[in-house]
Structure 1
Amino acid sequence: MSRHLLLTAWAFAPARTSGVYRAIGIANAFASAGWDVTVLTAPEKVFADEGIVDQSLSDLVADGVRILPVPFSSGVYSSDVAEWSWARARHPELWAGARSLRFPETGFGDWRRALSEAAAAVHRNRRVDLSLGTASPSVDFIPGWQLKRRHGVPYVMDYRDAWTIDVFSGRPNPRASPRALKWERTFLRDADQVWFVNEPIRDWHREKYPAFADRMKVVPNGFDIVGGVTPAVPFRPIETDRPLTFGYVGTINSGQFPTEALLAGWLRARERSRDIAEARIVLRGHLGRTGVADAALAAFLERAADHGIAYDGPVAKSDVAAAFSEFDGLVLALASGPGVTSGKVFEFAGTGLPVVSVHDPESAASTVMAGSPVWSPARSMSPDDVADAFIAGAAMIRAQTPRSRADAIRWGAGWERMRQLQQPVRELTARQTDEVER
């Protein structure tokens, strides 16, 4: 009989939100290795009500992966006031506080009971051989922890984010309560493995919890092959007098997307370079979590439109490769912080297109791009340094040849998601086989 993985991911296909691609990738990697996979996730309606659904994501899930919706309600993800109880409508703060007593995570803590019951039912119907929770939210770790405590089932924490540490600074998260710290230590103490998406986040947790350092490892994100298509963009010659088009594909979050640094550096580059003065940037992606720009982001887009920066709407996952093919080069614009990688950096790397980085040089994304032969990073977020990166990127676009594009694509192919997951899944499969034989 095949081994059975229980994967807990609050958001799973077709939800369009942070962490979904990694969760889908984990499910597919285990399925490819011969595991039966059951996924505990929030019902699709939770995300549909907020307008954060992309039906094309369901096509990415491997055949045979069983998706089990677990009832979920939250003050964060429940905008229909007609569905609220009297207590919630009259005393929302007290209502939310009472719900979080089950688990110290605002907006998600009350899910603990439903997750526990669902995991127990799955295990009764078909023994779970390995449990894996991918967070945030950290309540996703509950099923694995409980199955380990009650039935000895090994479990993995996929800590793609952080709970008690601020990933932008590496300092303690001021919003993390003493109960959250206690729960985190308990989870880490009992876990068989703990995965992190980059070295800075892993190293911060190793320093904080040295007793559990031996079970912590880095399992990076990667780009996805959708319908057999990679992000790779075939080379096409650029006429000497044709204006260049830089592109960005990804969510544009107010307060995280570096709007001011990008615009200031772009304007300085347009002053210094005729090539950039005639070029444009096309932004593609959802505006924030819901797709609606707040006042600050709307104001930026209006100002930017006067200077060759255009917003051209969101892109379905199935259309990402086609969107990349419309660009001559890419702009990797990210929030700054040593623990920030972002999933889009891997897709950008996979295109083979020249990439201009507009983010803190200390970002973990720099570690990913460091080996690229077509990378033009800003030395800092100052206007002059961002301008230098754009000017160098334009020169790189003009100089690229079929051979150098092929070399860049070959380098980027190493960041495909299944390649990143193959070895960790293989190790867990071998470990499970050894335990069965013993």
Structure 2
Amino acid sequence: MTDPFTLAMILIVALSIMGASIGVAMIAGSMVYLLLKGFDSSLAPETLLQGLFNSYTLLAIPLFVLAADIMNVGSLADRLLRFSQALVGRFRGGLGQVNVVSSLIFSGMSGSAVADAVGMGKIIIGMMTRDGKYSPAYAAAITAATATIGPIIPPSIPMVLYALVADQSIGYLFAAGLLPGLLMAFAMGAMNYGIARIRGFPTDERVPLRALPGITGRAIPALMLPVILLGGIYSGIMTPTESAAVAAAYALAVSVLFYRSVSGGQLYDALASSARSTAAVGVLVAGAITFNYVIARENVPDDIAAFLDRFELGRIGFLLAINLLLLALGCVLEGGAILLIVVPILIPAVQAMGIDLVHFGVIAVVNAMLGLITPPYGLLLFITGNITRQPLARIIAEIWPFILALVLALAVITFVPGFVLFLPRLLGYQG
């Protein structure tokens, strides 16, 4: 007779191939496992509900999603783009650099790569392709690539998920993502500049210096959001979950009262979109909580740790192997699934190797974000392809240089832990 765990895995894979949500597939597979093992079938929903209701941290996710959706329906994205254009549009490949900088700024507000690509992406792609300055495929590729910064610069929804499974401080994880996010932005900006020199991309219109104070002033209310959010967390005034609520309230207040750019219908659309996104994440988290119970019952993490220990890889070899594994999985799995299913299995081995869990969290999240732009699954490729109506093959051909830039940044993040942990240690982290 086939082992119940094997049958559960076969069912999960089969349902996923047939188009079912990975969360639903995990719940179904877990139920089959529990029934075949002779456990009470009510154990699965009990485990699921306890995991959801006992995690105050999870409340941050719908609130960050709502903040991003409100910013997308308002005029915050337009003002941030104009500010970025004034800063870097004058350089070679100017609108490409605007793309990088605007994603860097927006990432300090949304915490979501998808929100970045959908919100800022629609506007910047239109700017880049107007008058044929850049090909639609290149505009789509760089927009998808820069959107990966979103969950690295705090706040970060994927880091909230990692904090849940690894039992780590969200505040320290947020701090650990700041320098790596800036490094990723620099790497993509440098790659865009090099491509612009080779292909002769133009500079953008030069914004007169006298206009810069006015543009900055109009953008300041939007730019203050990450300052308020992070300042509240690191001053100890707010928890990360409370800061997510403040972020949503501030985005609404600025959009409605200051910029007056959100109608009742748009607010309803933002709330509906947030509810759908939250439900999707909730199903994924619920599936992961249930399936992780199954994994724990089967001692899979300990088996994985023992298996890796046989190879005597050493710290560098182990980190290299983990990166290759996560990059490969990113080609076929959604980032949330990697963080909620695969990463908990690896954590015992990571701890056995003496690798700091905050450092590993940044490595895991960066790998998960790279998965969003690597074929064939790359969700961000599909999003920007839908915006530009370009064949996926053309976008993939243009995105390889940016994947290379991000992999080089990942190498620094992986093998120079002091770079990642510098800010957390300044804030009192003892790891």
Common fold: TM-score over 0.5: no
Higher RCO, 1 vs 2 (CA within 8 Å, ≥6 residues apart): 2
Structure-2-length-normalised TM-score: 0.25
Structure (1/2) with the larger strand percentage: 1
Structure (1/2) with the larger helix percentage: 2
